[in-house]
């Protein structure tokens, strides 16, 4: 049969296998007819493939570890063909690396891969991670929590929700602490750790104050000079700007009383939170508040009556007592002009919170040899800004003439009783 125009006498090799690193070129023809497979296949039909090193692995891939010995499948390397898998391995993403203590995944590395199939912290931390912010300096634990030591936020910046349980742990309430005499627990305060340590937390949890069960408001003068009929809508006591606990259970009463016989303007109205009701007394008798439990009151306020502004108290005293026997002045307004600046002329309107002064307990007699049973001549309770006159047993004289109470603290804090010369 005649050959077609241009057809070579050469024929294709019947064996189309080539050794590694070569590829079979189906377009080549043998140098003789018939083909000598052992000669033509290796020297004519099999062509050298490009080395894998001529292929650039795309992002997310790395050269195989034996890249120098690898070639592509057909001639020039092509990343879109099987050459990718022949020459490259899938690289490990940075997000598979555990950054370790004090570091966090770098969000800028969202498309970054380690230079190996497995990330290594010693090699790849700077590539994949950023230093994490220290909790103690970058995260403010909320109220009731304390910081974990040597911990870091789980991001390049701290997040108040995400990092709460990482940075913080519940703190121990200060209520487990026993405050010393003339100190009270700070309202809603927690120790600076998961347990309370007296040497660290005592004065963090406790402040100068006096927990009292009874309070007494004594009108001294009204807006209308010489008048006696006093009135008030509501009265409040506060512990650190917050209404004292269980104030709804407080008992308001008068003794003696000179209230209207219709019983509609009794002291109980002072605790009903209703400015339309009021307490009224015809002869300016005081009213009393008995709390369900002893509590410190650091401030107080009251609401003016619903009518007759001339009945407003303008000068007054607030007293306190732990037992309804021993009383001390907590605050007093003696200057009429001061009172006028405090009490609103508008009806059913509250004063601001009025700060009280912290009184002092007299020095504890059990710690003072030869002291009298009540160590101050003025009694067991000393008003802020006033003096205690030390009291000793007969035949003994105090080594100081007076002790001053200032903001719940005695100066000096105690005294001694020295024997008189005649009894020495």
Q: In angstroms, how far is the first alpha carbon of the chain from the final one?
A: 155
Asked whether 386 and 362 are in contact (CB, 8 A), the reply is: no
For residue 15, is pLDDT > 90?
no
Given this model, what pLDDT does residue 4 score?
43
Read off the pLDDT band of 44 (50, 70, 90): confident
Least confident range of 11-20, 67-76, 122-131, 242-251: 11-20
Q: What is the dihedral of CA 35, 36, 39, 44, to 10 degrees?
A: 0
Given this model, what pLDDT does residue 125 score?
96
* pTM score: 0.72
CA-only gyration radius of the chain, Å: 46
ω into residue 330 within 30 of 0, thus cis?
no
Given this model, what pLDDT does residue 17 score?
82
Read off the pLDDT band of 323 (50, 70, 90): very high
Could you say which of 3.40.50, 2.60.120, 2.10.70, 1.20.120 is the CATH number of the domain covering 360-423? Answer: 2.10.70
Read off the pLDDT band of 13 (50, 70, 90): low
196: number of Cβ within 10 Å: 20
What are the sequence ranges of the domains in the chain?
A: 22-89, 94-131, 135-170, 174-208, 212-349, 360-423
For residue 202, is pLDDT > 90?
yes
What is the average pLDDT value for the chain, to the nearest integer?
93
Nearest to 417 by CA among 373, 379, 382, 384: 373
To which residue do tokens 């009894």 refer?
Answer: 423
Dump pLDDT digits (tens) for 147-169.
999 999 999 999 999 999 999 99
Given this model, what pLDDT does residue 9 score?
38
Given this model, what pLDDT does residue 126 score?
96
Average pLDDT score over residue span 274-278: 97
Given this model, what pLDDT does residue 25 score?
85
Four-residue CA torsion sign, 22, 23, 27, 32:
positive
To which residue do tokens 């007093």 refer?
Answer: 332
Read off the pLDDT band of 46 (50, 70, 90): confident
3-state secondary structure the chain: CCCCCCCCCCCCCCCCCCCCCEEECCCCCCCCCCCCHHHHHHHHHEEECCEHHHCCCCCCEEECCCHHHCECCCCCCCCCCCHHHHHEEECCEHHHCCCCCCEEECHHHCCCECCCCCCCHHHHHHHHEEECCEHHHHCCCCCCEEECCCCECCCCCCCCCCCHHHHEEECCEHHHCCCCCCEEECCCCECCCCCCCHHHHHHHHEEECCCEEEEEEEEEEECCCCCCCEEECEEEEEECCEECCCHHHCEEECCCCCCCCCCCCCHHHHHCCCCCCCEEECCCCCEEEEEEEEECCCEEEEECCCCCHHHCEEEEEEEEECCCCCCEEEEEECCHHHHHHHCCCCCCCECCCEECCCCEECCCHHHCCCEEEEEECCCCEECCCCEECEEECCCEEECCCCEEEECCEEECCCCCEEECHHHC
For residue 11, is pLDDT > 70?
no
């Amino acid at each position: 049969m005649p050959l077609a125009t241009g057809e070579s006498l050469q024929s294709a090799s019947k064996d189309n296998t080539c050794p590694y690193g070569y590829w079979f070129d189906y377009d080549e023809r043998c140098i003789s007819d018939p083909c000598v497979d052992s000669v033509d296949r290796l020297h004519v039909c099999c062509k050298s493939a490009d080395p894998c090193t001529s292929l650039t692995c795309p992002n997310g891939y790395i050269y195989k570890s034996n890249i120098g010995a690898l070639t592509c499948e057909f001639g020039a390397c092509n990343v879109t063909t099987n050459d990718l898998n022949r020459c490259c391995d899938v690289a490990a993403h940075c997000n598979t690396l555990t950054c370790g203590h004090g570091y966090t995944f770098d969000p800028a590395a969202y498309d970054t891969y380690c230079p190996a199939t497995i990330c290594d912290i010693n090699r790849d931390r700077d590539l994949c991670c950023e230093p994490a912010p220290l909790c103690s300096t970058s995260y403010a634990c909320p109220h009731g929590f304390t910081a974990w030591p040597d911990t870091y936020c789980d991001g390049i910046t701290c997040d108040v929700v995400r990092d709460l349980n990482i940075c913080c742990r519940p703190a121990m309430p200060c209520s487990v602490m026993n405050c010393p005499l003339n100190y009270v627990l700070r309202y809603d305060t927690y120790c600076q750790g998961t347990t309370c340590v007296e040497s660290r937390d005592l004065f963090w949890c406790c402040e100068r104050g006096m927990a009292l069960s009874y309070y007494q408001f004594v009108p001294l003068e009204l807006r209308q000079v010489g008048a006696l009929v006093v009135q008030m809508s509501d009265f409040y006591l506060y512990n650190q700007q917050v209404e004292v606990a269980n104030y709804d259970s407080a008992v308001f009463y008068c003794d003696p009383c000179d209230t209207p016989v219709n019983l509609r303007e009794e002291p109980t109205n002072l605790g009903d939170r209703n400015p339309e009701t009021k307490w009224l007394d015809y002869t300016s008798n005081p009213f009393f508040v008995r709390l369900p439990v002893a509590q410190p009151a650091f401030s107080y306020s009251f609401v003016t009556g619903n009518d007759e502004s001339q009945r407003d108290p303008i000068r007054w005293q607030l007293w306190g007592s732990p037992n309804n026997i021993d009383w001390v002045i907590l605050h007093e307004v003696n200057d009429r002009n001061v009172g006028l600046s405090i009490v609103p002329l508008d009806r059913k309107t509250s004063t601001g919170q009025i700060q009280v002064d912290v009184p002092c307990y007299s020095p504890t007699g059990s710690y003072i040899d030869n002291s009298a049973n009540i160590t101050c001549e003025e009694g067991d309770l000393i008003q802020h800004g006033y003096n205690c006159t030390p009291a000793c047993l007969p035949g003994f004289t105090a080594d100081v003439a007076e002790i001053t109470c200032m903001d719940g603290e005695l100066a000096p804090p105690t005294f001694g009783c020295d024997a008189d010369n005649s009894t020495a």
